[in-house]
Amino acid sequence: MNHVNPKWEFLGLTFNPSNILMLAVTCLVVFLIAFISTRNMKLKPTGMQNFMEWVMDFVKGIIKSNMDWKTGGRFHLLALTLIMFIFVANMLGLPFAIAYDHVLWWKSPTADPTITMTLAVMVLVLTHYYGVKMAGVKNYFLGFTKPLAFMTPLKIIEEFANTLTLGLRLYGNIYAGEILIGLLAGLATASVGGFLGAILPAMAWQGFSIFIGTIQAFIFVMLSMVYMSHKVQTDH
Amino acid sequence: MNPFAIPLCTDIEMKHHQTEAGPPASLVSEGSETIVSLDQFVLAASAGDGFLDKLNTGDILATLFFFTLLMLLLKKFAWGPLMGIMDQRAELIASEIEEAEKSRSESAKLLEEQRALLKEARTEAQAIVENAKQQGDAQRAEIMETARAEAARLKENAAAEIANEKDKAIQAVREEFVSMSILAAEKVLGKEVSEEDNRALIEETIQKAGEGR
């Protein structure tokens, strides 16, 4: 349990090679899923193509519940990438964690606040970008005075609060899940009795973590699209 | 950066106090590194690069890089083609629906046309039958009329002939009778009765005798 993160310094930047590794693995898995399922596509879909189309329709549904498709269509790829990336990232830490010489190498990349906050800041920056681009500079700034002018400070705070909650919610959920799985694994390896005692809770918690990981991926994308719709829509 | 730093600081500082109370070991190891950096940042805010040094700036860039790369790859290999095929399918379905609608209306039109034609044919047939019946009736009446007229004519002819024959016979008998009467009178009188002189007289007599009967 007493793990530390590996650390590299390169070009004056601080890297956590475990994060890099897990990001690469996540991207690879997501890409393979997407790539394999879109080979040999037919108008009448079969097998994996069905799954991929279902995912795309699901993401489309998320976007459509926040804004009309004409506005939201351009965020489809972003939302699709986000949900697949976060879901796979959440799942990666579930089956095992690999530590070498007390250095934690294999984990969920989303169990690191740097990564989740990066994603959250990226999404929020994009909302502001599209807010200015699609609603216009005037409407973008006017948006801060709605519904009432005196709420402007609150609206500004809200932007930072949104960013923080979006990133830290994901981080907290996944990190907590990994800690508990680690504790249960520690208990299981401590003794025979501990192993017997840990089987059931470990299985239950892993199942629950799958659920949490799925829900968190969904929530992240849903909230991203909610924030996005607040910025890009002027009439509501 | 600064707006994030303030809430982050308080958050981590709280964690810092918790770590002193003795939470799980992993939290300490995870947190302590950050705490130092944030403490440094708070204490020596003017130093500046202390925070950035300890922050995983490389990870941030790597995350952005990987995410963007993944997005581009997905766009190229999965999202683009899949959207293409889904659009294609939507188009196909739309066109099929349109086609079906068109052929449905066309068939309805054809059906209506056929029905009209059938109706027309039926009325025509009825008219033909009616016509034929009428014509037949007319013809029958005509034939009967002709036959009746023919019969009447024949009867009349026959009657006329009969009358004619009768007259002829009577004439013949009368003539014969006159001849025989003259012959008889010749024989009785013993002299020749001049046929030319007496014929008128005898004929008158016979005429009278015939009327008398």
Q: Do B67 and A15 touch (CB under 8 A)?
A: no
Query: What is the model's pLDDT at position B191?
Result: 63
Mutation for testing the B interface, residue in A77, A117, A224 having most B CBs under 10 Å: A77
Answer with the residue of higher pLDDT: B142 or B213.
B142
Select from A14, A38, A179 the Cβ nearest to the Cβ of B81. A38
In sign, the C-alpha dihedral spanning A90, A97, A175, A23 is negative
List pLDDT tens digits, range A26-71: 888 888 888 888 777 777 777 788 888 888 889 889 988 888 888 8
Query: What is the model's pLDDT at position B141?
Result: 92
Residue B205 predicted with pLDDT over 70: yes
The b-or-e profile of A185-210 (16+ CB within 10 A means b, else e) is: eebbeeeeeeeeebeeebeebbeebe
Residue in the structure block whose two tokens are 């054809």: B110
State both tokens at A116: 């989740």
pLDDT band per the 50, 70, 90 thresholds, residue A189: confident
Gyration radius of chain B's alpha carbons: 71
Query: What is the model's pLDDT at position B7?
Result: 41
How far lies B53's CA from each of A8, B36, B87, in Å? 12, 11, 49
Residue A100 predicted with pLDDT over 50: yes
Q: Which helix (H) or strand (E) holds B43?
A: helix B25-43
Which residues pair with residue B17 across a beta bridge?
none
Answer with the residue of higher pLDDT: B175 or B55.
B175
Mutation for testing the A interface, residue in B63, B65, B77, B88 having most A CBs under 10 Å: B63
Q: Which helix (H) or strand (E) holds A222?
A: helix A192-232
Q: Do A114 and B59 touch (CB under 8 A)?
A: yes
Query: What is the model's pLDDT at position A97?
Result: 65
List pLDDT tens digits, range B74-121: 888 878 888 888 888 888 899 999 999 999 999 999 999 999 999 999
Residue B20 predicted with pLDDT over 50: no
Query: What is the model's pLDDT at position B208?
Result: 78
Round to whole Å and give the CA distance between B173 and B195.
17
Residue B25 predicted with pLDDT over 50: no
Give SS3 for B60.
Answer: helix
Query: What is the model's pLDDT at position B100?
Result: 94
Round to whole Å and give the CA distance between A123 and A117.
10
Say if residues A114 and B59 touch (Cβ distance below 8 Å): yes
- The whole-chain average pLDDT of chain A stands at 82
- The whole-chain average pLDDT of chain B stands at 75
pLDDT band per the 50, 70, 90 thresholds, residue B59: confident
Query: What is the model's pLDDT at position B95?
Result: 92
How far lies B174's CA from each of A122, B22, B159, B187, B207, in Å? 154, 178, 22, 19, 9
Select from B70, B82, B85 the Cβ nearest to the Cβ of A85. B70
Say if residues A26 and A92 touch (Cβ distance below 8 Å): yes
Residue B122 predicted with pLDDT over 90: yes
Round to whole Å and give the CA distance between A119 and B167.
145
Q: Do B64 and A118 touch (CB under 8 A)?
A: yes
Residue B159, classified by CB atoms within 10 Å of its CB into exposed (0-12), middle (13-18) or buried (19+), is exposed
Residue B20, classified by CB atoms within 10 Å of its CB into exposed (0-12), middle (13-18) or buried (19+), is exposed
Residue B15 predicted with pLDDT over 60: no
List the domain boundaries for chain B: 2-87, 170-212
pLDDT band per the 50, 70, 90 thresholds, residue B49: low
List, in order, residues 6 or more apart from B115 with CB less than 8 Å away.
none
**Segment among A68-82, A138-152, B124-138, B141-155 with least mean pLDDT:** A138-152
Residue A169 predicted with pLDDT over 70: yes
In sign, the C-alpha dihedral spanning B86, A49, A83, B73 is negative
Select from A19, A41, A81 the Cβ nearest to the Cβ of B81. A41
How far lies B193's CA from each of B118, B186, B207, in Å? 98, 6, 19
Answer with the residue of higher pLDDT: A156 or B2.
A156
The torsion angles phi and psi of A89, rounded to 5 degrees, stand at -60, -45
Query: What is the model's pLDDT at position B120?
Result: 95
Residue B123 predicted with pLDDT over 90: yes
List the domain boundaries for chain A: 8-232
State both tokens at A5: 């993160």
